[in-house]
Chains A and B, each alone.
Chain A
Amino acid sequence: MTGPHHGISVEGAQDVAPFLFELIPQWPLLPAPVIDAGNRDASAARSDIVVRDEGGHWRISSAHVTLSDYDLDDGYMLANTLIGALIAAYVAQDDGLVSIHAGAVRIGDGLVLLLGDNGAGKSTFATALASRGQRFFADDRLILDLRAAAPDAPVGYSLAIAPKLRLPLPQDADTGYRDFVAENSVMNWPEMAVLRPGPEQAAGFGEALPVRALIHLRREPEAGQPVLTAMRQPDMVRLLLEQLFAPHLSQQGELSACVHLAQTVGIWQLRYASAFTAAETVISHFNGEESA
């Protein structure tokens, strides 16, 4: 697989390839060297990521991320975890790169990142914005270059990972959103759908834009109208420490990355009940801010 500076070698993932390339269809592949059977163990030892079938249970090992607690016996889960290991190997090639657990959508001339715990609504929110014409970059994971040349702003890179949505869709989903999901679904389970928006709707692998804002999503069913308020830097740093993924950095490096992010882009908190109402608020705010 392609990395920022050199290839990322993956051993033993043949059986999971169909799932993997549904989820990361654009991640460029590099030709792998031919390995004879006698050298297979030595080759695995040199690989960035090794997938093994241990008595019917799959395990992933990687020098860049600790996965030893996982016992992966589901093809989709295995592929999803393998993507996490690929991302760790990707950012490990460059001290300026980190991965962030966030949705990301282009609004105006930059990226708006959506942060929150699992269940905060990142995927729904990012795809709700996409269904309203904003360019989709990520629903869950994005690469950030904190040393990028863009003036005073980190740059976000899409890995073109397919967005995933829980089913059924929220009751308040509008017709436009339901149509967007139906038109772009490529895999469906009773409780989940995987989408693949087209190139006119979603960024391709490696497509980059400066980050202009971070939004902490606070989904509160009792909230009335969506409220977007400025956030304090220490609060955003605490949130980023939970959502930034940079196993190749020291703790000081990770903290510095979080502080740099919080200090160089707009930081916001959004309390909302409906992603579909709040999406309009966010588009209006950041498009209005751009023209102000």
Chain B
Amino acid sequence: MNCYRRCPGINETPVEDELFLIAGDSGDIFHLDRLAMSLWRALEAPAGEAELLVLFGAAFPETPADTIERDLQGALATLLDGELIEVCD
């Protein structure tokens, strides 16, 4: 499974309990929903997908594992598309 880390040069702007990010290269502004924000927080240090699945499984014990996996992959894809995170070696 892939390992992910934050891209360098991302600016964070918290608003109440949510987060807006500005991508360093494109300058695009992203609003993170709660899952994406949890993922962003979890990637303060690089982490693998398996590690993230365990983390999110513990955080949402009542959510079925396949739902967590699907939502996590969706959030990873969103952050990757926005060049907010990248795959690490």
Residues of A within 8 A of B (CB): 232-234, 237-238, 241, 250-252, 254-256, 259, 262-263
CB distance from A238 to the nearest CB of B (A): 5
Enumerate 17 A-B pairs (CB-CB under 8 Å) in ascending A order: A234-B15, A234-B16, A234-B18, A234-B20, A234-B31, A237-B15, A241-B29, A250-B27, A251-B22, A251-B28, A251-B29, A252-B13, A252-B22, A255-B13, A255-B29, A259-B15, A262-B15
Residues of B within 8 A of A (CB): 11, 13, 15-16, 18, 20, 22, 27-29, 31
- By the criterion CB–CB under 8 Å, are A256 and B31 in contact? no
- By the criterion CB–CB under 8 Å, are A256 and B16 in contact? no
- By the criterion CB–CB under 8 Å, are B16 and A233 in contact? yes
CA of A144 to CA of B28, assembled, Å: 23
- By the criterion CB–CB under 8 Å, are A259 and B16 in contact? no
CB distance from B59 to the nearest CB of A (A): 21
CB distance from B8 to the nearest CB of A (A): 16
Tell me whether chain A's interface is mostly helix, strand or loop, or mixed: helix
CB distance from B10 to the nearest CB of A (A): 11
Q: Which residues of A contact B27 (CB under 8 A)?
A: 250-251
A238-B31, A255-B29 given; A233·B15 CB < 8 A: yes
Nearest A residue to B32 via CB reads A234
Nearest A residue to B31 via CB reads A238
Contact of B13 among A232, A238, A250, A259 (CB under 8 A): A259
CB distance from B78 to the nearest CB of A (A): 15
Residue from A232, A234, A237, A256 having most chain B Cβ neighbours under 10 A: A234
CB distance from A244 to the nearest CB of B (A): 11
- By the criterion CB–CB under 8 Å, are B22 and A255 in contact? yes
Q: Which residues of A contact B31 (CB under 8 A)?
A: 234, 237-238
Q: Which residues of B contact A262 (CB under 8 A)?
A: 15
CB distance from A20 to the nearest CB of B (A): 33
Residue from A250, A255, A259 having most chain B Cβ neighbours under 10 A: A255
CA of A238 to CA of B20, assembled, Å: 9
